[in-house]
A and B are shown apart, each in its own frame.
Chain A
Amino acid sequence: MTEALVVDSLHVSYITQSGLVPALRNVSLSIASNEILGLVGESGSGKSTMAQAVMRLLKPDVATVDGRILVDGQDLYQLTPEELRLTRWRKIAMVFQSSMNALNPVLSIQEHFADTMEAHIPGITRDEILKRTADLLEQVRLDPAVARSYAHELSGGMRQRVVIALSLALDPSVLIMDEPTTALDVVVQRSILDEIAALQKQRQLAVLFISHDFNLVSGLANRIAVMYAGEIMEITDRGMALEDAREHHPYTQGLMRAAPRLVGTKVSIEGIPGEPPDMTQLGPGCPFFDRCPERLPMCRTTPLPSKSGRVYIRCHAMPDPVVEKVKRP
């Protein structure tokens, strides 16, 4: 299996008036081509920071970044600005959290596609641009005539489809999607997710799909990474059925018990007592220590072990999951 994206020992800290504040700590994961990795976590856990760090979008005066990001084997942080410009869109593209509101209101949809293609494909002809734009719009099930519209003439779901089509304009191998359907109604959301799944298979894309919605991600992703206080606690390829809860990290178990279920017998829910830690006051041990029902005395003082690999659990009280053949949903 070829790894299209490798994140190796990533540390990110924001530069603030009160000093460096960690946002990501020792994050490692990899995504194979033709695979969707879901990244879930509560708000503030560091998901968007992760997306921006992977795209190398955090400016040196905003945050310090340490670690390696390999796209098709090439370290993004070793590239010159010009190499970086060519790599983004072509090899790795991103759909931002609120990008459907980021379309330029005075440019037609066609012009957005033209700008992107002209900047990256020297000598591309007008005809070629028109043809490719129409193809891309059709792939996200929009009428090619949408190219002549402006953002304000389109519904939220249509704008989000445009943004997804635009991210695919240069046929990248890796796609980062940060809460791409969060503001949409469930029916529109579901149909866009179906399209993402179809495009991903067709184009053999490696997708990092970020969401706060556990249920949504479990329906889409091959594996799920669970983030808490800037650390990945678990990467799992297991189902999220409640019967299997005990196989997961204590934090994942907490999330699973907190979510009401749509199907199956009705079960009671409970929150995870307490709140996420203050990132300026983190101790050396597990960040979930204060809230964890399984904690051991060592958890407070012993750093979580570094892990990599397709699935893992970072917890002093739990063994790693038994690695099976990768499940496809």
Chain B
Amino acid sequence: MSAKILVSTDHVTVRFPRPGAPDLVASRAVSLHIATQETLGLVGESGSGKTTMGRTLVRLLTPSAGTVWFEGKDVTHIHGSALMRYHRNAQMIFQDPFASLNPFHTVGHHLARPLARLRHLKGHERQEALDELLTLVGLTPSAVFREKYPHELSGGQRQRVAIARALAGGPSFIVADEPVSMLDVSLRAEILTLLESLQERRGLSYLYITHDLASARYLSHRIAVMYGGSLVEIATAEELVQAPAHPYTRLLLAATPGSPHKGPLPETMQGAPDLSADRIGCPFAPRCPSVMDQCSQVMPELKAVSPSHQAACFLNT
């Protein structure tokens, strides 16, 4: 794996205004980077800000503050044709392959559009590129799949179409937002291994968003954990699952099916984190079994636990 950074965020904050209440902060000063041909897993419970970060990275969303870098260029505020060019390089795959495909359009139509829009391909060339894409994602014979409508496809085949569509512009970076959450275990394995082989063949970098730590461990080189909009821990995949440093990560690991954890969960109470702009302190403080006085006063910074491992917790000093 090359250590060259492909895409990164620097203190990215995304706020959503709420009438009569402080802004909701969906992601709070999040800094992360993804190297060429690297997969960064992004895990956390629902509402923790994973999709918001993914959408910001591919610039479907403009952050309220902070910077998004791609290949060394600031892409935070690009628009128009520059944004279109960016979308050749950065694409997103969504959770629900059904909802993201138009029931009235054939598979061929879904792929022809980005080939025309992002790569300006026409006629015979476009047809060839289309067949190549279908073959690449395992939808063969491509001549048959080209003519099919979404309802004629299984869940796994629809997700393959969504992947082919994301690949149409020839991207180097893909945000995959819970791409296998709605699939059965066997199909899940097929899509995960497809993503793996595409990474190798196309030199792709991924942000793999999931709430499932086991699949994050499988696919990712490193894993980042979000809680309440904040990045609380980031480490190589093995370090994260074998030696988690943040109490929230420990809770998440203990609760994940397949974990050997026995006994009560390491939390003092249940409940959702406060996302409001006037929150102070560590987002996990209200539930944290190790909470100290300073935790509810000051937000801990990410600090190195090892050269390849950082956590934002006062225990780690």
The answer to whether A and B come from one shared complex is yes
A interface with B by C-beta (< 8 Å): 42-43, 155, 157, 185-191, 194, 212-216, 218-219, 254-255, 257-263, 266, 268-272, 275
| Chain A residues closer than 8 Å to B189, beta-carbon distance | 257-260, 269-271
- Whose C-beta in chain B lies nearest to the C-beta of A181? B257
Given A186-B211, A219-B257; A157-B270 close (CB under 8 Å): yes
Q: Shortest CB–CB separation between residue B283 and chain A, in angstroms?
A: 14
| Chain A residues closer than 8 Å to B238, beta-carbon distance | 266
Q: Shortest CB–CB separation between residue B157 and chain A, in angstroms?
A: 9
Q: Shortest CB–CB separation between residue B265 and chain A, in angstroms?
A: 6
Q: Shortest CB–CB separation between residue B212 and chain A, in angstroms?
A: 8
| Chain B residues closer than 8 Å to A269, beta-carbon distance | 189, 192-193, 218
- Whose C-beta in chain B lies nearest to the C-beta of A254? B186
Contact at A260–B218, with CB atoms within 8 Å?
yes
CB contact between A216 and one of B154, B254, B257 (< 8 Å): that residue: B257
Contact mask for chain B residues 203-233; partner A; CB cutoff 8 A; 1 contact, 0 none: 0000000010111011000000000000000
- Whose C-beta in chain B lies nearest to the C-beta of A265? B238
Total number of residue pairs linking A and B with CB closer than 8 Å: 100
The 7 closest A-B CB pairs, nearest first, are A271-B190, A260-B218, A190-B255, A215-B258, A216-B257, A215-B257, A258-B189
- Chain B residues 3 to 52 lying within 8 A of chain A, measured CB to CB, are 45-46
- Measured in the bound complex, the distance between the Cα atoms of B265 and A216 in whole Å is 16
| Chain A residues closer than 8 Å to B253, beta-carbon distance | 262
CB contact between B193 and one of A215, A266, A270, A275 (< 8 Å): that residue: A270
| Chain B residues closer than 8 Å to A275, beta-carbon distance | 154
Q: Shortest CB–CB separation between residue A194 and chain B, in angstroms?
A: 7
Q: Determine which residue in A188, A190, A212, A271 has the highest number of CB atoms from chain B within 10 A of its CB, and name it.
A: A271
Contact at A271–B187, with CB atoms within 8 Å?
yes
Contact at B184–A42, with CB atoms within 8 Å?
yes
Q: Determine which residue in B185, B217, B218, B259 has the highest number of CB atoms from chain A within 10 A of its CB, and name it.
A: B185
- B136 close to A (CB within 8 Å): no
- Chain B residues 165 to 196 lying within 8 A of chain A, measured CB to CB, are 184-190, 192-193
- Measured in the bound complex, the distance between the Cα atoms of B237 and A266 in whole Å is 10
- B140 close to A (CB within 8 Å): no
- Whose C-beta in chain B lies nearest to the C-beta of A269? B189
Contact at A255–B186, with CB atoms within 8 Å?
yes
- Measured in the bound complex, the distance between the Cα atoms of B252 and A212 in whole Å is 20
Contact at B218–A187, with CB atoms within 8 Å?
no
CB contact between B214 and one of A189, A215, A270 (< 8 Å): that residue: A215
- Measured in the bound complex, the distance between the Cα atoms of B188 and A284 in whole Å is 29
Contact at B193–A212, with CB atoms within 8 Å?
no
Contact at A262–B259, with CB atoms within 8 Å?
yes
| Chain A residues closer than 8 Å to B214, beta-carbon distance | 215, 259-262
Contact at B255–A263, with CB atoms within 8 Å?
no
- Measured in the bound complex, the distance between the Cα atoms of B212 and A262 in whole Å is 9
- B141 close to A (CB within 8 Å): no
- Measured in the bound complex, the distance between the Cα atoms of B45 and A189 in whole Å is 11
- Whose C-beta in chain B lies nearest to the C-beta of A213? B257
- B288 close to A (CB within 8 Å): no
| Chain B residues closer than 8 Å to A186, beta-carbon distance | 45, 211, 252, 255-257
Contact at A258–B270, with CB atoms within 8 Å?
no
Contact at A187–B186, with CB atoms within 8 Å?
no
- Measured in the bound complex, the distance between the Cα atoms of B23 and A170 in whole Å is 46
CB contact between B185 and one of A187, A190, A214, A268 (< 8 Å): that residue: A214
- Whose C-beta in chain B lies nearest to the C-beta of A214? B185
Q: Shortest CB–CB separation between residue A266 and chain B, in angstroms?
A: 7
Given A187-B255, A215-B214; A262-B185 close (CB under 8 Å): no
Contact at B258–A219, with CB atoms within 8 Å?
yes
Given A157-B270, A271-B193; A212-B184 close (CB under 8 Å): yes
